[in-house]
Amino acid sequence: MISLKQRLSQPEIVKVPGIYDALSATLAEKAGFEAVFVSGSAVAFSQLGRPDIGLVTMTEMAQVVDRVHDRVAIPLFVDADSGFGNAYHIDRTVRMFERAGASGIQIEDQLSTKPVADVTKRPLVSTETMVGKIKAALDARASDKTIISARSDAVYTEGVDAAMERAVAYADAGADMVFVPGMENAEDRTRLCDALGSKVVLLFNLLEPDSLGAPSPADLQADGFSIVLFPSVAIGPSANAAWQSLNALAGNDISQDPVAIGTLINADGFQKG
């Protein structure tokens, strides 16, 4: 089995599904995927029944990674949120996740404490703080085969220009991969790929791959992206299937229930309780 880093050096884009436990990872491996993404939001929903607002701890996430790694042979790309704190926390996070079996670790520039479930409204740390976290992650990793991915959510709060500046700074800091959510416009994606495609691996997130106007993996490969995530591909359908089955067993009529028709997994449905 080749490493995630080796696979990303190949021209064909890597399609990576989001998983949340050993069972979903096993199913993904049996389906033929070459890697899986241990999704922070999917783990929060499945393990805590809560939205992704920073409630999952570093040790809880490492336990999930360890269980998945024990079950599958394909590389694990892991959501480390903000690194669970500052640069010192990043050091421990990277070392712990590597020992648990992570082949790639993604760190974002959001604040550690997330005041809202809506990612478009979350405040960010400064560029300088994030650069420090990236450098700490690079120093902490035991193997240079471990991918350090830097995610910036600046498009939502600061705009595309600011997000581009952050992306360049993160690449210059040594990140192996850069991820900028919110680049829905084709021109913006081209701009990102032109600026950084020759320097780092670029990731795109297809949260709703079937939505109108969503690019295909082939489109993204042509643009210059090397990896595409499908973070909700397992958790959403799994929750909906359980919802349907449980209501059928209980004898409930949910034929007109919009939850049964749409997506069960969302922040509104899990915010309280």
* Res. 222: pLDDT tops 50: yes
Mean pLDDT, rounded, for 218-238? 94
Residue 72 to residue 23: CA distance in whole angstroms: 10
Lowest pLDDT segment from 32-36, 99-103, 180-184, 225-229: 180-184
DSSP 3-state of 216: coil
- Look at residue 258 in the predicted model and tell me its pLDDT: 63
Mean pLDDT, rounded, for 110-133? 87
Q: Which two tokens stand for residue 76?
A: 């694990």
- H-type alpha helices, the chain: 4-8, 22-30, 40-43, 58-71, 87-100, 127-140, 154-158, 160-172, 186-196, 217-223, 235-250, 258-261, 267-270
* Res. 268: pLDDT tops 80: no
Please report which confidence band the pLDDT of residue 263 belongs to, taking 50, 70 and 90 as the band edges: low
* pLDDT tens-place string over residues 158-168: 999 999 999 99
% pLDDT > 70, the chain: 94
Phi, psi dihedral angles at 180 (to 5 degrees): -125, 95
* Res. 260: pLDDT tops 70: no
* Res. 273: pLDDT tops 50: no
Amino acid (1-letter code) at residue 253 = D
Please report which confidence band the pLDDT of residue 184 belongs to, taking 50, 70 and 90 as the band edges: confident
* Res. 215: pLDDT tops 70: yes
Please report which confidence band the pLDDT of residue 150 belongs to, taking 50, 70 and 90 as the band edges: very high
Please report which confidence band the pLDDT of residue 92 belongs to, taking 50, 70 and 90 as the band edges: very high
User: 4-236 adopts what CATH topology?
Assistant: TIM Barrel (3.20.20)
* Res. 9: pLDDT tops 90: yes
* Res. 267: pLDDT tops 60: no
- Look at residue 132 in the predicted model and tell me its pLDDT: 97
Per the prediction, the chain carries an average pLDDT of 91
- Look at residue 271 in the predicted model and tell me its pLDDT: 43
Most distant CA pair in the chain: distance in Å?
58
* Res. 182: pLDDT tops 80: yes
| Distance from chain centroid for Cα 178 | 12
Beta carbons of 17 and 36 less than 8 angstroms apart: yes
Domain extents for the chain?
4-236
